[in-house]
Amino acid sequence: MYRRLIAANMAGGSVRFAQAIAAAHPPRPSAPRGDNDAPEAPDAPRVPAPPALSASADDALRFPIGDQPGIGSNALAFGAPITSDHRSILFGNPHWFWRGPDRFYQAQLTIPGKVNVAGVAFLGVPLIVLGFNENVAWTHTVSSARRFGIFQLTLDPADPTRYVVDGKTEPMTPVTLSVRARRADGSLETVTRTLFRTRYGPVIDLSTMAPALAWSPQHAFALRDVNADNVRSFENFFVWNQARSLNDFMAIQKRYAAMPFVNTFAIGRNDARVYFGDIGPIPDVPDTLADACTTPISRAFASRVSGVPFLDGSKSACAWRVDPASAQPGALPVDQLPSVVRGDYVGNFNDSYWLTNANAPLTGYPRVAGATQVEQSLRTRYGHLLAARLQRAPGGITRDALESAVLETGSMSEQLYRKPLLDAVCTLNDAQSNLRDACEVLRNWNGTADIDARGANLWDEFWSRVTKIAPERLFATSFDPKHPLNTPNGFNIDNPGVVQDLRQALGGAALSLNGFALDSRAATSSTPRATARACRCSAAATNKAISRSSARGVRWTTRVIRWNRPGRATAMCRS
């Protein structure tokens, strides 16, 4: 059971690098050299050319656990001071697998007098990992903090399986694995492969991102997964299932610091506050260490993929720090991890901790914990604007209002950009153009993803093309960190080239429907839905997986938790 949960912990790190680990193999060595001799210095220092990373490099290192890039879990929690009945309320919209061996299953675990908890768990894990008991309720969203790091290794020219640390070479450790594999004719064969480990972790081949990231005679790259040393999550969930109060819940999380790749939101019975914490293993790489241990390759990498600790492995001083206050060696101590307790609201939609509360941004944490002062996703902007709208309601937020709001099927991209598109492209002069029918469909679209909405499919295809245009060229108003929920905004229609790009995007969208009518219903599409691209969702509607609750007999895709009468917590659900 422990191994099952430990394996799941690595979903934010090693699991995503399985192919890179398997593909790593040494180049052919040159002449032999003495065991402990460092390579001789060349006549002139050889500085490797910075890699030109592929366009998909950043997406490859994002961790939309359980789904496609751009889709992820959502959460909102509102404190008692701003609710209609002065009781805290929590909305959770987790995204995880609902099929296969890693799927959620829904359960209630009861031992009279000991534990009474309901929610979801992984197959093979007899604990609730997201849910509620009689005293607390909690949910998770995928954290944007990095849970791994990369070390650039300087190799012995005579032996690419030896690397230099502080002027001395040391050998990599070969690990030979054999598996049974099926041939094309259906018969089985044994495939044997030798992989290599270093003091930092396994050697990886990232040449699919850039040729310079391959294992060469000069350098190789090793992966360190901070969750490889995290064996505490089982105990964390076990004690959480029995938590007696919000204070108890928060203390448990800070004691174990075990959440592997998720943010945590929680509320407690008879407690006016709401809690957010990204409290778990995050590499102990302060910005000063990251800056002091860069290489030309790591600087080029950082320009495309933010927050990943990419360090010089030839210097022991560049290893992750070890702080006695940390829950494990090499992880940030709890007092350097983002968390906040508030009386109004907290929310997250898979961007960083920065705008947990849009009115009081969090700052001051190392880059590895998440980016600040950067453009937010449309889903994040939608979620915080939805929270602001709910808080403006006279008399405070009600459960019904929250449940209704999170199940809306509006589109943030539509709200921001449909009118500018129509104004720029769909003018009277275009009445006879090849865009006429597409323009008419978008004019008549109700702007939602309701099952009968006509125009949603066309908008999805259009938006997937528009997002490929360079943002500094596309938008009339660029991102402003002082106004993160309102920027970027508008199309730069004063630029004729941008107008032409918009025309081409709309025309391409119309053609891509592959024979389906331009005004086909949202329930009909020839291609996978692009909900993430257009952010056609409130904080809830992206996940349509349904599960039956044996405990309550309810069907749910989202959970709105609030406290009813003493001794009972209810999951208010809607399919």
> 412-425 and 378-391 are packed helices; what angle lies between their axes, rounded to 10 degrees?
110
For residue 440, give both structure tokens: 């008419």
Rounded Cα–Cα distance for residues 148 and 226 (Å) = 6
DSSP strand E in 487-543: where?
Answer: 489-491
CA 108 to chain centre: 28
Q: How large is the average pLDDT for residues 316-324?
A: 98
Taking residues 165-177, report their average pLDDT.
98
Nearest CA to 317 out of 499, 166, 183, 437 is that of: 166
What pLDDT, on the 0 to 100 scale, is given for residue 58?
52
Task: List the alpha helices (DSSP H) in 305-429.
Answer: 378-391, 399-406, 412-425
Q: Which two tokens stand for residue 39?
A: 């390579």
Contacts of 205 by beta carbon, 8 Å cutoff, 6+ apart = 20, 23, 24, 25, 213, 214, 215, 221
How many CB atoms are located within 10 Å of the residue 162 CB? Answer: 23
Summarize pLDDT for 364-396 with one digit per residue, the tens.
999 999 999 999 999 999 999 999 999 999 999
d(CA 297, CA 421): 40
Collect all residues with Cβ–Cβ distance below 8 Å to 29 and sequence separation of at least 6: 158, 159, 160, 161, 217
> Cα(162)–Cα(265) distance, rounded to whole angstroms?
45
Burial level of 218, CB count in 10 A (0-12/13-18/19+)?
Answer: middle
Contacts for 426 with CB less than 8 Å, ≥ 6 apart: 435, 439, 442, 443
SS3 for 195? strand
* Stated pTM of the model: 0.86
Does the pLDDT at position 484 exceed 70? yes
Mean pLDDT of all residues belonging to the chain? 86
Per-residue model confidence as pLDDT tens digits over 98-157 = 778 788 899 999 999 999 999 999 888 999 999 999 999 999 999 999 999 999 999 999
Cα–Cα distances in angstroms (integers) from residue 488 to residues 52, 59, 473, in the given order: 27, 21, 11
The conformational region for residue 387 under phi > 0 = left, psi -120 to 50 = alpha, else beta, is alpha
**Helix/strand/coil (H/E/C) assignment for every residue in 129-192:** CEEECCCEEEEEEECCCCCEEEEEEEEECCEEEEEEECCEEEECEEEEEEEEEECCCCCEEEEE
Distance CA 309, CA 289 (A): 9
Alpha carbons within 13 angstroms on the beta-carbon side of residue 548 total 2
Distances from the Cα of 162 to the Cα of 28, 97, 220, 317, angstroms: 13, 40, 10, 19
Question: Could you write out the three-class secondary structure of 63-94?
Answer: CCCCCCCCCCCEEEEECHHHECCCCCEEEEEC
Higher pLDDT, 348 or 569: 348
Q: What is the pLDDT of residue 145?
A: 95
DSSP 3-state of 106: strand
Strands (E), 205-338: 219-225, 262-268, 274-277, 310-312
pLDDT at 248 over 60: yes
Place of tokens 């070890």: 322
The two tokens of residue 292 are 């002091």
In the prediction, which pLDDT does 7 show?
Answer: 85
pLDDT at residue 544 above 70? no
- What pLDDT does residue 566 have? 35
What letter represents residue 160's amino acid? P
SS3 569: strand
Residue 223 per-residue DSSP state? E
How far apart (Å, rounded) are the C-alpha atoms in residues 384 and 539? 9
Catalytic residue positions, numbered: 73
Q: Among candidates 74, 95, 92, which has minimal Cα distance to 544? A: 95
- Full set of structural domains in the chain with CATH: 72-146+229-406 (3.60.20.10), 412-524 (1.10.1400.10)
pLDDT over threshold 60, residue 572: no
Q: What is the pLDDT of residues 53-79, one digit of tens each?
A: 555 555 555 433 333 454 569 999 999
9's enclosing H/E stretch is helix 2-9
**530 versus 84: which is more confidently predicted?**
84
Q: Is the pLDDT of residue 1 over 70?
A: yes
Give the whole-angstrom CA distance, residue 121 versus residue 432. 57
Predicted local distance difference test score (pLDDT) of residue 440? 94
pLDDT of residue 33: 54
Terminal CA-CA length for the chain: 31
Rounded distance between C-alpha atoms, residue 423 and residue 323, angstroms: 58
Which uninterrupted H or E stretch holds 555? strand 555-556
